[in-house]
Structure 1
């Protein structure tokens, strides 16, 4: 099957499309029967292709209703009445969780079971027997992978979850008891890992010999998901977390391990090392002489060397339209600038000497301005009056975040970006003052945007979402070894330094820091996760598995003073509607939002509808 056919299959609204209702609320109604589907190899292949749509979830990418980056300390979705607002206020629960993936996941798991039960009995044309004798085992391995990944998504959302069992394909006779019984975390992890170990050898290493099928699941994807699953199992959320001591099944079975096991980190490290030792993947390095562009291109190209598991996306400008700065004049990018990035995210980027901005020797200063070259996505452009806050930072900062007086594709949009309040702007502002829609923090996402897409001209973006990429495996290895050993090792440094070298950041340990200690490196590694995977949906889960979310997501979050009061503007002595007045009060740390996170938010609540259907057998998570 060519990539074109595969891609169309992924987008196909097939006859078993997901119901709008929860899986356990109703008996699923199929438009056609299983016999109709699996009596024909063509429709059976569509069932296989449809399973790939399970990769498109709020837990894995930014093309979704609720964006995870806006539910943690990265940014705010500043559009009106968005689901993230309720989520960040802590005003959600078992009946109204916009990130609930319980019923949706079990629908797909059931579809996987149906496929695996039937595909071997699907009639094959005699002249195609040899062809399908190779493909059907691979189809089965891919479907098993996708089922395992669904269980991983359930694991990190809810912890202990029911394991449906291969034989559960029909609920027309009622809800099977297996769906009312949560399995302990370690049992869920073991199931996922065992499945991945068994199916990995069936999958190809790559599609070099058949490039038209690039994008399908590979052996490396299975091995990588194993490493990721084991890293979660080793993390504080699931490894000896006594907060969950009282979460037990009705028979008294303990659902969360209560004893810390250091060896779980070694298992995660070994699994990550196995992927690295394949020597199949490499960090994307299209422009090593320009570390900003070298990193940025990964997110607006179809890249298959660093990307271990892609979610295939059609050629479109939808994301560019959503993310690009939103000024309305002819010289602006003309996008919608949907997300306001927080100062906390900006401050996470180190100086280019490898020191955090909090280090007195870093050279960081908030005061003053500078003139100099800035990358606009295609070329360097001489910028003026740039705050010293944005000078000499990690190149990933410039590739990921737009800020005051930076440039975006200056060949087509000649003016610099303007986020300071500019009341009488005539549209010549990227933070134009319309309540509920303007950029509130003085920063927008830059990452993901393609400078080749001119929203006032032509062009579409061509990108995939990297569900798993090699940098993640390097950081898992570094983190796991740091937690396993008493002190950092050289091979651990080597792993994280490969990620840093791609953007020309200094190798660790940096002189004068505590990078040579376990605690010091833990802090470094966690920050590396934060900046390398900014706006990729990782941070939301990382702060939970590290058990730090009640600190980072339960506080005020800040930005620049992009929406000053009329009194502030009048006090400047300038015309209150002028650019000068807005600039005079812009560089002041301002509270954008108060975030609420309590201990119960570390895990999602099991949907109340599922609790009710279970007749009291399905126990709820902590605090809900």
Structure 2
């Protein structure tokens, strides 16, 4: 590394990526390129660094305003722009030839690249003058390559379940190129976790060069991937799911185990605890006196304490330009407001007394208004006419979602945000009533937004994307221990309360149902939902919990941000006025109807891959 800052995007010509369109295709030009790469240690290092590009998947491209946004394929929000990639997922119209989240070919190309690297690096010539430098580094490079390969298998596993394990470099004449079958889920999980165990024994907890090597794979990342993999394996989607009883290879091999194994939860809990016991990470607490800012800062600054596996992102303002509210008056934020947040997510946030809003003792009100102060990203600012729906909520709500008359400090001008209909607004409505582009639900994203970015002037955000962070390990431990035991214990409460305490939320248990396995399951699932909103977790969680057919199927709701002319006229105000829009705004309406069927729990193997390799049996329902 020569003590320079570690970067991922070192691009080499090819070690099996650009020259092969399908993962089992091997062409002679690739072999020539392979020899050229591994005859030079610096080229080989570039091949190693290139493997890190596998972490920069389409799932995280939303932070730059692109890709298929997983949150917009769930009950979190809707991408209300026109003809977007999320529409097929929302309507149930995606299939084996139309899946923008398919990674099959790309993942196996990265796996092939890792296989080539692992098979070749030990034979790469090293000048005598550099042997002492590379001797301790080569084992680390190999361990990191094994992690990145295992992580690709995890990404395949949570999409498709049982997948082929191809961990050798196939030659052009190898029969496996067209006859590879799927390995069972248990075999895939065993491979990922055994790799994590092996490389965790090699990798350091941190690197000697500190921030210069920040972003490289560590022991903590390996153990965390193991914990995440075991949690999925223990979850209802993969643990004795009878829906997949008939998914078998031609020889009769059962690809999805039909026997529920409660001990899988204990394995997941122990794996998460191994990460916690490293004592190498801590929950971000930059401003403990302000629970809103204490949480928010994790998502617009570079964090070196909580994030176990970061995706390094250069300074930019892509997120702010794409997702911030889109009012166009002189004092507006001037973003493009891409997402409409659903009422379902808003309602998931508890009151600050720890009670769900459905609890009669929570104090939640749907009528009336209040005046007071809200955190505008920089300071507390006076607000007025805020609906009581948004009073005394979990601090994470205020750090995650913009709502009517909320405030954002835009160049020291915290103008109230306006999402209710406002006809003659001159750009002063942050819902910007333009068909096909306006906010439809009365809520926008706030999480990830950097208050130092001025979209009408200068400033860039400096953030990393947390691929894995410590809070997830606490919640994995809480969930797995709750499922393993007949009822929650102090260990379960302690783990979930560690996450809640960061934002000054009361510790559990609070209500009677918190003392039961089923009640605590709901609490943990909701905690995961609000803690990781807009972090690409909900999409996968509702699938592994087998609840997606309930929560992602049917009507999704928002507030009445697009009233009819008759409604506006009946308000008694000028139909184009702000007052008219506000008067008819606070009622729940259907924004979109979603379709989720049983076949959607797992993705189909791409038809192009089955055409190449007929031995690949298709997933359920496809």
The two structures have a TM-score, normalised by structure 1, of 0.96
CA distance in 2, matches of 1:565, 1:27: 60
Q: Where do 1:286-297 residues align within 5 Å? A: 286-297=286-297
Do the aligned partners of residues 47 and 362 (structure 1) sit closer, same or farther apart at CA in structure 2, a change above 3 Å counting? same
- Deviation digits for residues 338-362 of structure 1 (CA, Å, limit 9, x no counterpart): 1100000000000000000000100
CA distance in 2, matches of 1:439, 1:526: 28
SS in 2 for 1:6: coil
SS in 2 for 1:415: coil
Q: Is the 8 A contact 1:2 1:212 kept in 2?
A: no
Do the aligned partners of residues 400 and 14 (structure 1) sit closer, same or farther apart at CA in structure 2, a change above 3 Å counting? farther
CA distance in 2, matches of 1:208, 1:116: 24
Do the aligned partners of residues 594 and 380 (structure 1) sit closer, same or farther apart at CA in structure 2, a change above 3 Å counting? same
**Residue 139 of structure 1, aligned match among 138, 141, 155:** 141
2:611 corresponds in structure 1 to 612
CA distance in 2, matches of 1:322, 1:530: 23
CA distance in 2, matches of 1:621, 1:218: 34
State the shift of 1:328 in Å.
1.0
SS in 2 for 1:340: strand
- Deviation digits for residues 125-165 of structure 1 (CA, Å, limit 9, x no counterpart): 21110110011100000000000000000000000000012
Do the aligned partners of residues 422 and 393 (structure 1) sit closer, same or farther apart at CA in structure 2, a change above 3 Å counting? same
Q: Is the 8 A contact 1:24 1:610 kept in 2?
A: no
Q: Is the 8 A contact 2:299 2:448 kept in 1?
A: yes
Do the aligned partners of residues 243 and 16 (structure 1) sit closer, same or farther apart at CA in structure 2, a change above 3 Å counting? same
2:431 corresponds in structure 1 to 431
CA distance in 2, matches of 1:563, 1:27: 55
Q: Where do 1:47-66 residues align within 5 Å? A: 47-59=47-59, 62-63=62-63, 64-66=66-68
State the shift of 1:62 in Å.
3.2
2:555 corresponds in structure 1 to 556
Q: Where do 1:348-497 residues align within 5 Å? A: 348-497=348-497
Q: Which runs of 5+ in 2 are unaligned?
A: none
Q: Where do 1:155-174 residues align within 5 Å? A: 155-165=157-167, 167-170=168-171, 172-173=172-173
Q: Is the 8 A contact 1:111 1:169 kept in 2?
A: no
Do the aligned partners of residues 463 and 587 (structure 1) sit closer, same or farther apart at CA in structure 2, a change above 3 Å counting? same
- Deviation digits for residues 246-301 of structure 1 (CA, Å, limit 9, x no counterpart): 00001110000101000000000011111111111100000000000000000011
Q: Is the 8 A contact 1:163 1:179 kept in 2?
A: no
SS in 2 for 1:594: strand
CA distance in 2, matches of 1:601, 1:131: 50
State the shift of 1:207 in Å.
2.5
Q: Is the 8 A contact 1:326 1:333 kept in 2?
A: yes
1:93 corresponds in structure 2 to 95
State the shift of 1:114 in Å.
0.6
SS in 1 for 2:475: helix
CA distance in 1, matches of 2:273, 2:110: 31
- Deviation digits for residues 218-244 of structure 1 (CA, Å, limit 9, x no counterpart): 000000100000000000000000010
Q: Where do 1:76-155 residues align within 5 Å? A: 76-155=78-157
CA distance in 1, matches of 2:491, 2:190: 27
Q: Where do 1:256-267 residues align within 5 Å? A: 256-267=256-267
1:205 corresponds in structure 2 to 205
SS in 2 for 1:372: strand
CA distance in 1, matches of 2:419, 2:25: 49
The two structures have a TM-score, normalised by structure 2, of 0.97
Do the aligned partners of residues 388 and 208 (structure 1) sit closer, same or farther apart at CA in structure 2, a change above 3 Å counting? farther
SS in 2 for 1:51: helix
1:622 corresponds in structure 2 to 620
1:309 corresponds in structure 2 to 309
CA distance in 2, matches of 1:15, 1:608: 26
2:540 corresponds in structure 1 to 541
SS in 2 for 1:202: coil
SS in 1 for 2:382: strand
State the shift of 1:59 in Å.
4.0
Do the aligned partners of residues 113 and 340 (structure 1) sit closer, same or farther apart at CA in structure 2, a change above 3 Å counting? same
CA distance in 2, matches of 1:227, 1:407: 39
1:523 corresponds in structure 2 to 522
Q: Is the 8 A contact 1:412 1:454 kept in 2?
A: no
Aligned length: 619
Q: Which runs of 5+ in 1 are unaligned?
A: none
- Deviation digits for residues 352-396 of structure 1 (CA, Å, limit 9, x no counterpart): 000000001000011010001000001000000000000000000
Do the aligned partners of residues 357 and 404 (structure 1) sit closer, same or farther apart at CA in structure 2, a change above 3 Å counting? same
Do the aligned partners of residues 179 and 545 (structure 1) sit closer, same or farther apart at CA in structure 2, a change above 3 Å counting? farther
CA distance in 2, matches of 1:11, 1:294: 35
Do the aligned partners of residues 263 and 453 (structure 1) sit closer, same or farther apart at CA in structure 2, a change above 3 Å counting? same
State the shift of 1:10 in Å.
2.2
CA distance in 1, matches of 2:24, 2:269: 41
Moved over 6 A (4+): none
CA distance in 2, matches of 1:575, 1:326: 23
SS in 2 for 1:381: strand
2:77 corresponds in structure 1 to 75
CA distance in 1, matches of 2:536, 2:23: 28
- Deviation digits for residues 557-603 of structure 1 (CA, Å, limit 9, x no counterpart): 00011111112112212221111111111111111100000000000
Do the aligned partners of residues 72 and 509 (structure 1) sit closer, same or farther apart at CA in structure 2, a change above 3 Å counting? same
Q: Where do 1:210-221 residues align within 5 Å? A: 210-221=210-221
CA distance in 2, matches of 1:284, 1:431: 33
Do the aligned partners of residues 246 and 334 (structure 1) sit closer, same or farther apart at CA in structure 2, a change above 3 Å counting? same
State the shift of 1:43 in Å.
1.1
State the shift of 1:201 in Å.
1.3
Q: Is the 8 A contact 1:333 1:413 kept in 2?
A: no
- Deviation digits for residues 490-541 of structure 1 (CA, Å, limit 9, x no counterpart): 011111100000000000001x331111111000000000000000000000
State the shift of 1:179 in Å.
6.2
Q: Is the 8 A contact 2:15 2:33 kept in 1?
A: no
CA distance in 2, matches of 1:130, 1:513: 63
